[in-house]
A and B are shown apart, each in its own frame.
Chain A
Amino acid sequence: MKIAVLSGKGGTGKTTVAASLFSCLDRCQYIDCDVEEPNGAIFLKPDLPVSCPVNVPTPRIDPAKCNGCGSCRSVCRFNAITVIKGRALLFPELCHHCGACLIVCESEAISEKDREIGIIETNSSGTFMHGRLHIGEPVSIPVIRALKRRLQEDIPVVLDCPPGASCAVVRSIEGCDYCLLVAEPTPFGLHDLNIAVQLVRKMGIPFAVVVNKASDTDRSVQKFCRQNGIEIVLEIPFSKEIAQEYSRGILPVVANPEWKKKFMELYTHVERGIQT
Chain B
Amino acid sequence: MKIGLTSTGKTLDSMMDQRFGRASYFILLDTDTSEFEALPNEASMTAGGSGTFAAQVIADKGVSAVITGNVGPNAMNVLKAADIGIYRGYPATINDNIEKYKRGRLERVDQAGPSHFGMSLKRNKK
Instruction: List A residues at the B interface (Cβ < 8 Å).
Output: 73, 78-80, 82-85, 87, 89, 91, 94, 138
Contact = CB atoms under 8 A, between A and B. Distances in A.
Interface in B17-53: 43, 46-53
6 contacts: A79-B50, A82-B55, A84-B82, A85-B82, A91-B52, A94-B49
A87 B81 CA distance: 9
Contact of B78 (A78, A84, A138): A84
Interface of B is mostly: helix
Nearest to B84: A84
B77 interface: yes
B65 to A, nearest CB: 16
Place the interface of chain B in its size category: 10 to 19
A80 B58 CA distance: 16
A80 B49 contact: yes
A94 B48 contact: yes
A89 B49 contact: no
Interface string B82-98: 10000000000000000
Interface of B: 43, 46-53, 55-56, 59, 74, 77-78, 81-82
A57 to B, nearest CB: 18
B81 A91 contact: no
B53 A89 contact: no
Contact of B56 (A78, A82, A87, A94): A82
A137 to B, nearest CB: 13
Contacts of A138: 48
B48 A91 contact: no
B102 to A, nearest CB: 27
A79 B51 CA distance: 9
A85 B46 CA distance: 24
A73 B53 CA distance: 9
Given A84-B59, A89-B77, A79 B53 contact: yes
Nearest 8 pairs of A and B residues by beta carbon: A79-B49, A79-B53, A84-B81, A82-B56, A79-B52, A84-B82, A94-B49, A82-B78
A23 to B, nearest CB: 39
B74 A91 contact: yes
Contacts of A94: 48-49, 52, 74
B48 A78 contact: yes
A91 B75 CA distance: 10
Contacts of A79: 43, 46, 48-53, 56
B49 A91 contact: yes
Contacts of A83: 56
Given A82-B56, A84-B59, A89 B78 contact: yes
